[in-house]
Structure 1
Amino acid sequence: MKLTKQLASLCKPLGLPCLLSMSLLGGVVQAEDAPAPVVKPLPLEEIRVFTEVFDRIRQDYVEQVSDEQLLEDAIRGMLAGLDPHSTYLEPSAFSELQTHTSGEFGGLGIEVGMEDGFVRVITPIDDTPAQKAGVKAGDLIIKLGDQAVQGMDLNDAVELMRGPAGSELVLTIVREGEEKPLEITVVRDVIRVASVKQRVLDDGIGYLRITQFQVNTGNDLKRAMEKLEAETELKGLVLDLRNNPGGVLRAAVDVSDAFMDEGLIVYTKGRKANSELQYKATSERLTDIPLVVLINQGSASASEIVAGALQDQGRAVIMGVDSFGKGSVQTVLPLTKERALKLTTARYFTPSGRSIQAQGIKPDIYVAEAEIKLRESGNFIKESDLSGHLENGEDGSEDAVTDVRRIAETDYQLYEAIGLLRGLAIARKVTEKAADNQN
C-alpha cells in the first residue's frame, strides 16, 4: 500500500488515475490481506522524471498535445529502445499485419505498379473480380472512383482499391487500341493471394518460389507440388527463398515438414516457459527427389528456419549467399480490437543448436549474383549446318536449350541450381543402375 500511495502522489499533479500508472509500470494492486508477491522495487526516481517530463510537455510545448497522444508516443519510445522488430501496432499497422499473415483482403484482385504517375495493371489475378470485370494486363488506371491517381503514391492507390467485399469501385482505364477511356465497375471480393508459385524448368526440374510465409503456405505448397507432378516426372526441385522476408513461424514448420520424414525442425528459447517450444517433423514428406534451396541476403526469419532445418537434417543443398540473420521470434499481443504490441519474446535455433541471430544461414555452395553473357565457342561447322541433314525427330529440344540459356543470362544462381540438380539426378540414376546390376 505504501508503494501505491507513492505512485498516487506522483500521478496526482498530472491528473492521471493511479491505475493507469500502475498498468504502465507493470505494478500489481492487491488487497492488504493477500500475500504480497515478490517483485523488484520500482524505479521511483525514473518514474518521477517521466511524470515531470509528461507535465512539462502538456503545459509548455508550443502546441497542445492530447494526453492520449503523449502516452502512445511514450509506448513507442519504450519499444524503440528494445530491438528493431518490437513495435507498437496502431490500427492501420495491425490491420496490415493481419492481411500479410493471412494472405486475404477485400479488394479487386490485380497486381499493379506505377508508370508515369499512373497505375499500370501488371496482371489481373485469376478468378478475381478484376479479371471477371474485364481488366487486362497493360491497362493504365487514371481514376479510382472520383479520384484521379496522377501523382498519387502507389500505397495510397492500393489502399483505395481495397475495401469491404461487396462494395463497388469504378476504374477509369486507358487501354491501347481504344480511342476513349473505359469505365469498368468492379465489385470487391475477398482476395486470397497464394504465397507459392511453381513452374517446370528444363529437363524435369521443378521450381517453387515462396514469396512470404502466410497461414496457408503449407497447403499452397502441397497444391503447387501436385501441379508440378501432373506436368512432368520430376528429377529435382528448386525451392527459391530469395528476398523472402519471413512471416508466420507455423508456416515455416509446415514447409520444412513437407520435405522431411522425421527429426527436429526448429526450437525456441525465451525468458518465459511458454516461449520455449520444439517443432518436429510429423508426416511423410511430399517427395524424396534432390532438393536445392536458394537463399540470399534478403532471406530472413521463417526463410532461415526452413533453410537451417533442411541443411542440418541433410535434406537439401543450400545455395546462394549468406542470409539476413534474423533469428528472433515476435509475438503479437493484442491490446484492443484495433491495437497490438509486437514484441520479441524468443530466439530460434536450428536442429543442431545454431542461433541464426545476426549470423544468418551460410550456404553449402556459395554462388553470388552475377550477370553473364553467353557466346558461341567459334564458327565451327556442325551437322545441322550441312545441306540436307536429317532432322532430329523430337520436338521441343531447342526450346529447352533456349530456356536454359535465358536463365543463365538472367538468373545465374538459379542456373547453377539447375546444373547441380542435373548432376544429382545423374548420380542417383547411376547408383540405382549399379544396385540393379548387383541384384
Structure 2
Amino acid sequence: MPQVRRFARPTSFALALTLGVAIGNAWAQEPPASTAPAPEAAPAQNKAPLPLDELRTFAEVLDRIKAAYVEPVDDKTLLENAIKGMLSNLDPHSAYLEPEAFAELQESTSGEFGGLGIEVGVEDGFIKVVSPIDDTPASKAGIEAGDLIVKIDGQPTKGLSMMEAVEKMRGKPGSKITLTLVREGGKPFDVELTRAVIKVKSVKSQLLEPGYGYIRITQFQINSGEEVGKALARLKKDNGGKKLNGLVLDLRNNPGGVLQAAVEVSDHFLTKGLIVYTKGRIANSELRFSADPADASEGVPLVVLINGGSASASEIVAGALQDHKRGVLMGTDTFGKGSVQTVLPLNNDRGLKLTTALYYTPNGRSIQAQGIEPDIEVGRAKLTREQDGENFREADLQGHLGNGNGGEDKPSSKQKERSKDPRPQDDDYQLGQALNLLKGLSVTRGE
C-alpha cells in the first residue's frame, strides 16, 4: 500500500471524527519513487542507543499492572494503550490508528461517509467544532465553528480523549444523537441531530451577477482541482462566453483535504512560481510544488474569502495566492495548521500517523500556530434590511419638470422589484463585501 502524506488540522486539535463527523486533515498520495523515495531513518551514526533503563522500567510497569491491577488486563490492550499514549504526547496530530480508524481515514477524501458533517478537535479538554460542512445535518442544525461540545447524549465531554469522543459520536445513519453546545461563553443548549451518510460536493459555483462568479470549495477532495477547472469554464459559459469581470473564491470553514487538490486549485490561478514547499527530517519530506504556465482563470480579478475555519490545505491555497499577489484575501485569520502528517501502514490493517514536516508558503512563511491574515479584515455580521420608505421624490410632484435629456421619470411608486430568487450575497455580509470590492476594481479599470 502506498504511503500517504497528510496535512492535518490546526494546533490543539487531534484526529477528527469519521462516522460521527468528517475527517479534516489533508491527504496527498506519495510522489513516484523517482522523485521522492520512501521515508528513510536517520543515518546509523546519528541513532542514539536504546534507552535500556527506561525499557526496563516500562517492562516493570507492565508486569506490575498485570499482576496487581484490580481486574485482569491482557497484554494486547496494555501495549496498544502504551502506543497510543506515546504518540498522543508528541503533538495533537500524531496518532496510532486501529483498523477501523485507519480505514475511515482513507475513505474520508472520497466525498462520502457516515456521520454528522462536522470537523472537531480538542481544546482545553473540551471537544470543539472546527467547522461544519455544507449541506450536512450539522450545518442544517445551525452548528457553528468555535462551538464547544460539552455533552454527548447527556454525558460530559470534559476530560475525554479524542478517540473516546469519536466512539461516543459514531453511530449508524438514521440514529439520533443530542449534542450540548456552548457558544461564545453563553448558556449551554441542546441540538438533536440524525446521523446520515454524508455526501460532500466539494465544489459549488454560480454567477452572483452578470460578469461576477462565485466558487465555493467545502473541502479538498481528490477531484477538487478538476472540479474547479470545470467550474471556471462553466461560469464563463454562463456569462455568455465572455471573460468574467471578477470572481470570489470561498474557502471559509474549509477544513482542508487532499494536498494535490490544493496545489491544483492554486495552479488554476497562477502561471509561474512556487505554490508550497515542505521541510522535515526524513528524505521525502522535502517537497516543492510549482505552477505551470496554463491559466484556467484567465487572470480574472480574484477575492478569496477566509475565516477561522479555513485550515490546512485551505491555508496553502490562500497563502500561495497572497504571496503571489494574485488575489485579495478578505475575512478573518485562518486556523493556523501548518504541519505535515505521514500515514504509515503497519501490520494487521493498522496505521501510524506521524508528524514529519512543516509546510511553507512561497515566501517562506510557516503557517503553523499563526495562520494566514487577510488583506482586508471583514468579520461576520448579520444583515437586517430596512424597508424602503414611500417618501416623495421630485418625480412624484404634480407638474414636475422632465429630465431634459430624455431620461425616464423615477417616482417612488416605481421601486425596483427584488429578485424572487435569493442570491448568496443578499444574506452574506462578507460575500457582499467581496462582490463590492470586485465591482470597485472593475470601475477603476474602466470595464
Bin for the TM-score computed over the shorter chain? 0.5 to 0.7
Aligned amino acid, residue 157 of structure 1: K
- CA deviation profile, 1:315-344 (whole Å, cap 9, x unmatched): 010000111000111111111362111111
Between 353-362 and 66-75, report the one with greater CA deviation.
66-75
- CA deviation profile, 1:52-102 (whole Å, cap 9, x unmatched): 111111122122222111111111101111111111122222222212223
Q: Say which of 73, 91, 108 aligns to 2:99.
A: 91
Q: In 2, are the aligned partners of 1:194 and 1:217 still within 8 Å (CA)? A: no
Q: In 2, are the aligned partners of 1:202 and 1:400 still within 8 Å (CA)? A: no
1:291 CA displacement: 0.6
User: Which position in structure 2 is the counterpart of 1:427?
Assistant: 444
State the alpha-carbon separation in 1 of the partners of residues 420 and 247 from structure 2.
Answer: 19
| Structure with more of its chain in helix, by fraction | 1
| 1:57-206 → structure 2 map (5 Å cutoff) | 57-104=65-112, 113=137, 155-158=170-173, 193-206=200-213
State the alpha-carbon separation in 1 of the partners of residues 395 and 91 from structure 2.
Answer: 63
State the alpha-carbon separation in 2 of the partners of residues 196 and 92 from structure 1.
Answer: 28
- 1:319 partnered with 2:334: no
State the alpha-carbon separation in 1 of the partners of residues 198 and 381 from structure 2.
Answer: 36
Q: In 2, are the aligned partners of 1:307 and 1:361 still within 8 Å (CA)? A: yes
| 1:17-416 → structure 2 map (5 Å cutoff) | 39-104=47-112, 113=137, 155-158=170-173, 193-232=200-239, 233=242, 234-287=244-297, 288-336=299-347, 338-375=349-386, 379-382=390-393, 398-399=417-418, 403=422, 407-408=425-426, 410-416=427-433
State the alpha-carbon separation in 1 of the partners of residues 353 and 237 from structure 2.
Answer: 41
1:106 CA displacement: 9.7
State the alpha-carbon separation in 2 of the partners of residues 114 and 227 from structure 1.
Answer: 30
With structure 2 as the length reference, what TM-score do the two structures score? 0.65
Q: In 2, are the aligned partners of 1:114 and 1:154 still within 8 Å (CA)? A: no
1:263 CA displacement: 0.8
The two structures, once aligned, show a CA RMSD in angstroms of 3.5
1:378–1:38 Cα change, 3 Å: closer
State the alpha-carbon separation in 1 of the partners of residues 269 and 108 from structure 2.
Answer: 24
Aligned amino acid, residue 429 of structure 1: G
SS of the residue corresponding to residue 341 of structure 1 reads: strand
Aligned amino acid, residue 427 of structure 1: T
Q: Unaligned 5+ residue runs, structure 2?
A: 1-40, 116-134, 142-167, 176-196, 399-407
1:103 CA displacement: 2.3
1:62–1:425 Cα change, 3 Å: same
1:429 CA displacement: 3.0
Q: In 1, are the aligned partners of 2:383 and 2:428 still within 8 Å (CA)? A: no
Q: In 1, are the aligned partners of 2:225 and 2:264 still within 8 Å (CA)? A: yes
- CA deviation profile, 1:25-67 (whole Å, cap 9, x unmatched): xxx9xxxxxxx86631221111111111111111221222221
State the alpha-carbon separation in 1 of the partners of residues 325 and 361 from structure 2.
Answer: 12
Aligned amino acid, residue 102 of structure 2: F
SS of the residue corresponding to residue 56 of structure 1 reads: helix
User: Which position in structure 1 is the counterpart of 2:405?
Assistant: none
SS of the residue corresponding to residue 53 of structure 1 reads: helix
Q: Unaligned 5+ residue runs, structure 1?
A: 1-27, 29-35, 121-152, 161-189, 431-439
- CA deviation profile, 1:79-130 (whole Å, cap 9, x unmatched): 11111111112222222221222325699xxx66389xxx99xxxxxxxxxx
> Quick check: which has more Rg, 1 or 2?
1
1:385–1:100 Cα change, 3 Å: farther
- CA deviation profile, 1:270-300 (whole Å, cap 9, x unmatched): 0122101111002412111111100001111
Q: In 1, are the aligned partners of 2:306 and 2:331 still within 8 Å (CA)? A: yes
State the alpha-carbon separation in 2 of the partners of residues 56 and 268 from structure 1.
Answer: 44
State the alpha-carbon separation in 1 of the partners of residues 106 and 258 from structure 2.
Answer: 11
Q: In 2, are the aligned partners of 1:194 and 1:220 still within 8 Å (CA)? A: no
Aligned amino acid, residue 321 of structure 2: L
1:390 CA displacement: 7.3
Aligned amino acid, residue 113 of structure 1: P
1:55–1:155 Cα change, 3 Å: closer
- CA deviation profile, 1:191-242 (whole Å, cap 9, x unmatched): 9743111121124221111111111111111122222222124221111111
Aligned amino acid, residue 97 of structure 1: L
State the alpha-carbon separation in 2 of the partners of residues 205 and 83 from structure 1.
Answer: 43
State the alpha-carbon separation in 2 of the partners of residues 219 and 320 from structure 1.
Answer: 26
State the alpha-carbon separation in 2 of the partners of residues 377 and 112 from structure 1.
Answer: 36
Identity across the alignment (%):
57
Aligned amino acid, residue 270 of structure 1: G
1:245 CA displacement: 0.8
